[in-house]
Amino acid sequence: MRSRQRMFAAVMRLLLKCLRLGRRRRFKLVRQVEQLWHYGHLCLRSLLYNSFTNSDVVLDSLFEPVYWLVDHVTRWFGVVFVALVIGLTSSIVAIVYICLLPLILQTYTPAWICWHLAYGHWNLIMIVFHYYMAITTSPGHPPQAKNDLTGVSICRKCIAPKPARTHHCSICNRCVLKMDHHCPWLNNCVGHYNHRYFFSFCLFMTMGCIYCSISGWEMFRDAYAAIERMKLLDKERLQVAANQTYYQTPPPTFSFRQRAFHKSVVYLWVLCSSVALALGALTLWHAALITRGETSIERHINRKERQRLQKKGKVFRNPYSYGSWDNWKVFLGVDVPRHWLTRVLLPSPHLPHGTGLSWDLPPCVTEQRAPLLAI
C-alpha cells in the first residue's frame, strides 16, 4: 500500500515539473515575441528620427537598390559607350574621306575646296583633342590629407570634409570638385578640371554634325532617290523572274560600289542630323548654365533655395556668378584678348582658374558683386 502511494506521489511530482517547464517555455516565447515587436517598432520610428526626414528620404531609401543597379551598369558600360563614340565618329570620317572628298575635289571650285579642307580638318582636330582630354583628364578630387582642408559640409559617403561646390559621385564612389554630372559617354565625371573639355567637345561635335548635314543635303537627296530606284528595279527583276519572260531585257543593275556609296551618304546624313539635334540641345542647356555660373547639380540647389527665400520675401544671388560675360571668361580661361584665339579657337590644355577647393575672385573678372546669400 505504501509503495503505491510513493509511486503515485512520484508521478504527480514529475507531472508538476513538466507543467512548470512548459509554462516557462511559453513565457520565454512570449518575451521573445515582445522583444521582436519592440525592435521592429523602433526601426519603423527611426525613419522619422528628426524633422529633416520627409517623403523624399523614404522614397530614396526604397529606390536605393534601383540606384545601385543603375550605378553599376553605368560603370561597366562606360567603356562600351566610349567605344561607340569612337566607332561612329570614325565611320563618318571614313565616309567623308572615301566617298565625299573625291567628289568635292572633282566638282567644287578651288575656293570652296579650300574652305571645306580648312574648316573640316580644323573641326575634326578640335573634336578629337577635346574628347581625348575629357576622357583622360581627372575631374579633380579633394586631397586625402584632411588637416588643411576647408570643408563646408561632411560627405555622407566618404565621411570627410567636402569643399564648396563638391559633390559625391555614386558611380565613381568619390567626391568630385565642382561636379556637374557623370557622363557615360566619357566614362568619367565632368568636374572642375575637365568641364571645359566636355563642353568644347559637345560644341565642336555639334558644329561638325551641322556642317556635314548642310553640306551633304544635296548628296543625301540624290542618294535617297537612287536607293528608291534600286528598290523599284529589284521589284521589276523579281516580277520578270516570276513571269519567266526570257525574251524581255532585264532592268539594269547597280554595282556594289554604287549601292555602298548611296547607302553611306544616307547613313552619314541621318546620323549627323540626329546627333546635331540631340547634342545641340545638350550644348544649349550647358551654355545657359555656364552663362548663369552654375553646374547641373547647382541649378537644382539654387532653384530650391530661390523658392525658399522667395516665400520669405528675400532675394537669392548665386555667389559664384560674376555676370554673363565674366562667367564665360572664367569658364574658358580667357585672361587677355589673345586667349580667345590661343585658348578657345585652338587646342589648349591650360588649367581652369582656382584649385576647386576655394573660390577666390579670378583675375579676369573686372567687378565683384557681393553675394546676398551663399549656398
List active site positions. Answer: 183
Angstrom distances, CA of residue 176 to CA of 190, 210, 218, 242? 8, 33, 46, 68
The cell numbers describing 361, all together, are: 575672385
Q: C-alpha angle with apex 137: 132 to 140, nearest 5 degrees?
A: 155
What does the chain come to in residues? 375
List the one residue out of 185, 189, 207, 184 whose CA is nearest residue 287.
Answer: 207
Sign of CA dihedral 287, 292, 293, 294: negative
CB 180 within 8 A of CB 193: no
Give the distance, in angstroms, between the CA of residue 37 and the centroid of all CA atoms in the same chain.
Answer: 44
Strand partners of residue 182: 189
